[in-house]
Structure 1
Amino acid sequence: MQLKDIMKPWNGEQIKAEGLDESADLFSLSLNPKELKKERIDIINEQGYKTGEIKKVIFEYFHGINTVELLSSTLDVLESGIVAIDINARIFFLNEMYSKILGVPIGKIIGRDMRKIEPDADILKALDSRKPMILEKKYIKTIDKYVSGHIYPIIIQNEFKGVVSIFGDATELVKLSREVERANQIVVDLRNQLDLNNQINHQNIIGKNPEYLNMLYQASIVAKTDAPVMIRGENGVGKEVIAKFIHRNSNRSDKPLITVNCAAIPENLIESELFGYEEGAFTGAKHGGRIGKFEMANGGTLFLDEIGDMPITMQTKLLRALQEKEIEKIGRQKSVPVDVRIITATNQPLEAMMEEKTFRKDLYYRINIVVLNIIPLRDRKEDLGLLADFFLKKYNEQYHKEVVFTTEVLESFLSYSWPGNVRELQNCIEYGVIMCQNNLFDKTLLNLKNRAEGETLPREAAPEKNTISFDGYTLRQAADMAEKIAIQDALKKSNYNKTKAMELLDVSRRTFYRKIRELNLKL
């Protein structure tokens, strides 16, 4: 807008004058002190002749309107949302970005009461406090978005007129932040998994079953604390192995791990076993007395296996020792302080035993802080081969042999239910290695029996069709013959589909065809 657009034309005689150029932009001008004293401002052309005049009040009015319009246009192109409310919480200004973020046209917002649009809005809190506020990734429920920005009080001539909020849509930033957090968590999880794998590899713990690995991960976390741990599972699943794993990875690993099998100690001896006794405490007491398992484990870990078999009278004394962190030795009046971490294990239904009054509830809740459940071997099919190979290697070294499994034996392992779990598998393999005479662990050496269900895998009296005697053969010859039998079996079971046979044998294509050539097999 130029000055000639708002001036009153000059109809008098042509005169030279001092004034403002008629083509000047209204917004770019400001009155100098000399002109501020005039009630009327002369407007001149480029030759200096007067062409019109403007009252000072009119100039200031149009100058102000043009300034607001230009400012509004400027604010509309900003990427920040801007909204201003007066002292009555009425919205008197907002820009296009605010309308876009809110998803509502400006005409439907301007003039409305902010309290009816967003009753819990921070701009209303700033209106009440009359103080600036900072918004950091604030969630706005009505628009389902996150915003970040600032809120400022509007002060004109030292008078509070309202507040203005300047903010940006931070929803994508929040999403990105969450993705970063998620990525960081993945990195942490991977690092923990690597640490867990290193712990497993260095401690001869075998397994890749997801549920079993998750239990180990939980064990590795709780190991760093002194919280009581209860390990639950069937007989033979390896509860003591996990107790040792926890101790080795704890802050007490340089102190003793003392194991007590509560089911193996007679009821009249368990108190002296746990707490010890003084010399002369009873007839037959050892000279000099004896320290109990608690004192032996002082500073370290006490593993109470088969806790469900502990006599109810002894449970009371155990509870007191755990609560007070001190024991009373038989024959001694003064208590002995002890610092032990407790790990318990059981295959008993302790919850049912509490209802039957054979296991104390208060003791149960004292030791049942962290529970680790070990799944049975029958649910760890992917671990059977790994465990079998581990025990085979162990007993080959122990008994100086080079025994190998036949395919039939490995299949029997997978089909059997293993009621005795890992312990039964270990005993089965040790028996087979001891009794094996030709270095081939076949079904004639299996001695498996599920006494609970009557399921049996009988030992064969006569060799099967693919079982031959290796008497008189060298180790190399025997190994070649065993490989030949395994390949032939795999081919028959896969209906001579070579790809499926490779999968059954768990060998690469290159290895499969190399063996075919070496063993002179015809396909």
Structure 2
Amino acid sequence: MKQIGKKIGRRKLKRKNQEEFAREIDTILDAIHDDILITDGTGKILKVSKSFASVYGIGEDYILGKTVFEMEKKGVFKPSIIAKVLESDQKVTMRQKNSLGRELIVTATPVRNQQGKIEKVVSFTRDLTDYLNLQEQYSALESKMEKYTAEIEELRSKIVTIEGIVGNSESIREVIRTINKIAKFDANVLFLGPSGVGKTMFSRFVHNKSNRSTGPFIEINCAAIPDNLLESELFGYEKGSFTGAGQDGKIGLIELAQGGTLMLDEISEIPLNLQAKILKVIQDKTITRVGGTREIKVDFRLIAASNRDMEELTAQNKFRQDLYYRLNVITIHIPPLKDRKEDIIPLVSYFIDKFNKKYSLEKSLHPQTMDKLLEYNWPGNVRELENILERVMLTSEGNKITKEALPQVILCSDKRGEAPPGCGNLMQALEDLEGALIKEAYNRCGTSVGVAKALQISQPTAVRKIRKYMK
């Protein structure tokens, strides 16, 4: 009897262990993200995980005890991967579509007995539907991002990003559109427009948008260099080539533009005898230094600018026609500020912000002050606007700039923006601004050296200006 009792006890323990093991297996199956299905060696379904119903839309009670072949016929599996394992006698991985139309990736692995015969088959199913939907959404998002990026780049190319060029007028937008089209090509560009409209700024914009943007940008104001020095400044000279020439010679400004952009501002002021040499440089891309005989190859993109009517100058034989045609490959006209008054407000906003940061101020304009700025015709264009704003920001009392702080030339201008004779002039306004800057710098620095450093001028010039304005 004792032996029988022990056997019964062992059986109970074994059954209990099996039940505990089965519960543990169920817990593990439920914890696994993938859906799991187990069959015997004939394809009869023995066990499924709880996630089976959510994946296949069929409850556990309905499918247990049936075969995968029956389920395949009912369209639950399309096709049945376990049927393929039983047929091929090896592990299989494949894409599958269930009766709910969900995309699945399934792997089925045979479990063999000691004789190598398939005893069970275990399949793991991963629902790819959400993943594929996300992939499609991601692809669609990528396409949208590419589209938006292209649109943003296009918008950015239409918005001026170089410092100092600000404008909302259609005429300025057209200038920028033209620059965006031609900047990457090495064609000669001629900027025309009155003084102060920003021809140098736009030339830099062309350079920065070009394939030569990493090279130098050399600006030469042809009107600022005396005629007798202009040739040696442009072309350079060999040592001892003329009285006063340096012992080592000098490289010319044209050579310094190697690999970059050469800007000839006020090109109309170049003497006729020198225009022929400029034409040869443009045609042959070679120069010969003053007093030298060796030709030097130069590679640059040419931008010219003038505030004069070039066609009229050529008609009067004051400018070589062949040189004008060389320069006039792409001509861009920059209109005066009086013809694009919608640019005044954004320009004022830009300069106010610029000088507030530069001088650590917190100033703004009274609405009446802005009205007077909008009424004025600005014969000095953007340069005059910038200079006057800098002056009034430095000389006005308080943080709100009233119209009384404006120069008389603006205050007494009529509704057409024109000032009566004797009301003032640009030179006086510029002199007043210069005086204000000198006084401000001297009060802060206390020495001519400090003034020179602050205003980036030479010390002798600083001493002379201090004597003039600090009486």
**TM-score with structure 1 setting the length:** 0.50
Structure 2 match to 1:417: 377
Which of the residues 290, 297, 303 maps onto 1:330?
Answer: 290
**Cα distance per residue 1:130-177 (max 9 Å; x no partner):** xxxxxxxxxxxxxxxxxxxxxxxxxxxxxxxxxxxxxxxxxxxxxxxx
CA shift, 1:195, in A, is 3.3
- Specify which structure has the higher proportion of helix: 2
Q: Percent identity?
A: 40
* RMSD of equivalent CA atoms: 2.4
Q: Which runs of structure 2 are paired with 1:296-307 in the superposition (5 Å)? A: 296-307=256-267
Q: Say if 2:377 and 2:418, in contact at 8 Å, map to a contact too.
A: no
Structure 1 match to 2:363: 403
Q: Which has the higher contact order (CA 8 A, sep 6+)?
A: 2
Q: Does the C-alpha gap of structure 1 residues 438 and 262 become closer, same or farther in structure 2, counting only changes over 3 Å?
A: same
CA shift, 1:429, in A, is 0.2
Matches of 1:408 and 1:456 in 2, distance apart? 24
CA shift, 1:447, in A, is 1.2
Structure 1 match to 2:279: 319
Which of the residues 345, 358, 362 maps onto 1:385?
Answer: 345
CA shift, 1:299, in A, is 0.7
CA shift, 1:221, in A, is 1.4
Matches of 1:202 and 1:230 in 2, distance apart? 19
Q: Does the C-alpha gap of structure 1 residues 203 and 435 become closer, same or farther in structure 2, counting only changes over 3 Å?
A: closer
The answer on 1:352 being equivalent to 2:309 is: no
Q: Say if 1:428 and 1:448, in contact at 8 Å, map to a contact too.
A: no
Q: How many residues align?
A: 273
Q: Which runs of structure 2 are paired with 1:53-64 in the superposition (5 Å)? A: none
CA shift, 1:426, in A, is 0.2
Which of the residues 257, 261, 273 maps onto 2:221?
Answer: 261
Q: Does the C-alpha gap of structure 1 residues 456 and 391 become closer, same or farther in structure 2, counting only changes over 3 Å?
A: farther
Q: Which runs of structure 2 are paired with 1:122-521 in the superposition (5 Å)? A: 193-197=154-158, 200-201=160-161, 203-447=163-407, 449=409, 454-455=419-420
Matches of 2:367 and 2:181 in 1, distance apart? 39
Q: Does the C-alpha gap of structure 1 residues 383 and 222 become closer, same or farther in structure 2, counting only changes over 3 Å?
A: same
One-letter identity of the residue aligned with 2:362? E
One-letter identity of the residue aligned with 1:370? I
One-letter identity of the residue aligned with 1:332? G
**TM-score with structure 2 setting the length:** 0.55
One-letter identity of the residue aligned with 1:246? V
One-letter identity of the residue aligned with 1:245? F
Matches of 1:362 and 1:202 in 2, distance apart? 33
Structure 1 residue matching 2:227: 3-state secondary structure = coil
Q: Say if 1:448 and 1:457, in contact at 8 Å, map to a contact too.
A: no
One-letter identity of the residue aligned with 1:240? T
Matches of 1:188 and 1:329 in 2, distance apart? 49
**Cα distance per residue 1:250-293 (max 9 Å; x no partner):** 00010100000011111111100110001111111112110111
CA shift, 1:201, in A, is 3.2
More off after superposition, 397-406 vs 365-374: 397-406
Q: Which runs of structure 2 are paired with 1:27-46 in the superposition (5 Å)? A: none
Q: Does the C-alpha gap of structure 1 residues 362 and 340 become closer, same or farther in structure 2, counting only changes over 3 Å?
A: same
Structure 2 residue matching 1:345: 3-state secondary structure = strand
One-letter identity of the residue aligned with 1:298? Q
**Cα distance per residue 1:416-448 (max 9 Å; x no partner):** 111111001001100001102211211111116
One-letter identity of the residue aligned with 1:385? I
Structure 1 residue matching 2:314: 3-state secondary structure = helix
**Cα distance per residue 1:10-57 (max 9 Å; x no partner):** xxxxxxxxxxxxxxxxxxxxxxxxxxxxxxxxxxxxxxxxxxxxxxxx
**Cα distance per residue 1:213-235 (max 9 Å; x no partner):** 11111012111010000001111
One-letter identity of the residue aligned with 1:289? G
Mind listing any 5+ residue stretches in structure 2 that lack a counterpart?
Answer: 1-146, 425-471
Matches of 2:306 and 2:330 in 1, distance apart? 14
